[in-house]
Amino acid sequence: MSCTIKKDLLSEGKTKKIYITNNPLEVLIHHKDCLTALDGVKKNFLQDKGILNNEITTLIFQFLNSCGIQTHFIRKINNREQLCHRVNIIPIEFVVRNIVAGSMSKRLGVKEGISLSSPIFEIFYKNDKLKDPLINDHHAVFLEIISYEELSTIYNITSKINHIIKKFFLEKNIILVDFKIEFGKDYKNNILLSDEISPDTCRFWDKKTMKKLDKDPFRTGLKEKEEVFDIYMEILKRLNVS
Ligand code: TMP
Ligand code: ASP
């Protein structure tokens, strides 16, 4: 295994920093101790939250890799950092919904909690100035951020990911309500699942109590950041029980 040398900061987002390394094809992703919601409107320092998210997303990506899904994840380097294939992120958030919640519930005036007979896919244009608007395939192709062929490939992969992780979480008594994923293209133009999968990017409900096991109660002001930390710990604990 070659030794990774962390070099300059490549980019910084709300919860992660990306560093270039001595290998031009690999980056180091650092998870910050930052809890944000509502597109950064709520922003809090939360001690050691980066450790939890780094560990949770590592476990999920390792599992997806083992199931044959091509991801950017190579290996965990330390508590807060992981080594990943360098990709150009496609500026689209792919959302999968198994149960009605969140923005879909508000936008369509339907009650949260209705199970969908088949998953609903939505795409959002990653653009801070425009506040990540909901778009459709034709808008995305018009914007020249993706082709119809790539969209079709990604919807296929996304559907597989949903099947795999829905079952994975259910075995841990966690209902996967919805989630957001992102994809990138490596130097050979391979499409890789990138970014992260964590309680920051998913809605989880406890199978027995239906209690929310994600940051939704923080988004709505029902819970303080410290309580969110305990919830994330609970998710990690369940993932570690096989
Ligand atoms: P939504 O109901 O707010 O559209 O969110 C759907 C799912 O996507 C939910 O699990 C949270 C996740 N998500 C993100 O990870 N980042 C975002 O910026 C948004 C809007 C949603
Ligand atoms: N908009 C997202 C959310 O509310 C992400 C964020 O602001 O961190 O979860």
Average of per-residue pLDDT values in the chain:
96
Token pair 């807060």 is found at 80
Identify the pLDDT of residue 222: 87
Q: What share of the chain is helix, strand, coil (3-state, %, to 5)?
A: 30, 35, 35
- Dist. CA 125 → ligand 2 center (Å): 14
Mean pLDDT across 39-68: 96
Closest CA to 123 of 112, 133, 115, 131: 133
DSSP E strands, the chain: 6-12, 16-21, 26-31, 34-37, 42-45, 73-78, 81-85, 88-89, 92-99, 115-125, 134-135, 174-185, 191-194, 202-206
Report pLDDT digits (tens) over 10-24. Answer: 999 999 999 999 999
Which of 16, 95, 231 should be mutated for ligand 1, with most atoms under 8 A from CB?
95
CB 239 within 8 A of CB 172: yes
Contact in structure between 217 and 227 (CB atoms under 8 Å): yes
Torsion of CA 45, 49, 50, 56, to 10 degrees: -150
Taking the CA of residue 103 as reference, the ligand 1 atom at the shortest distance is 2
Among 124, 92, 120, residue whose Cα is nearest residue 108: 120
DSSP 8-state symbol, 5: -
Among all ligands shown, which has an atom nearest to the Cα of 125? Answer: 1
Measured CA to CA, the distance from residue 35 to residue 42 in angstroms comes to 8
Q: Which residues line ligand 1 (CB under 6 A)?
A: 95, 101-104, 132, 178-180, 201-203
Amino acid at 181: I
Choosing from 201, 202, 231 the residue with most ligand 1 atoms within 8 A of its CB, the one to mutate for a pocket test is 201
**Average pLDDT for 78-99:** 98
Query: Which of helix, strand or coil describes residue 167?
Result: helix
pLDDT above 80 for 1: no
Q: Rounded CA gap, 177 and 64, in Å?
A: 18
Q: Which residue matches tokens 């597109």?
A: 39
From 98, 99, 107, 178, mutation site for ligand 1 pocket: most ligand atoms within 8 A of C-beta: 178
What is the average pLDDT across 179-189? 98
Spacing, Cα 156 to ligand 1 middle (Å): 20
Q: Beta strand pairing status for 134-135 and 174-185?
A: unpaired
Q: Which pLDDT score, from 0 to 100, does residue 223 have?
A: 87
The dihedral of CA 138, 72, 204, 201: what is its sign?
negative
CA 103 / ligand 1 centre spacing (Å):
8
CB of 192 within 8 A of CB of 85? yes
Instruction: Among 3-12, 83-92, 133-142, name the one with the lowest average pLDDT.
Output: 3-12
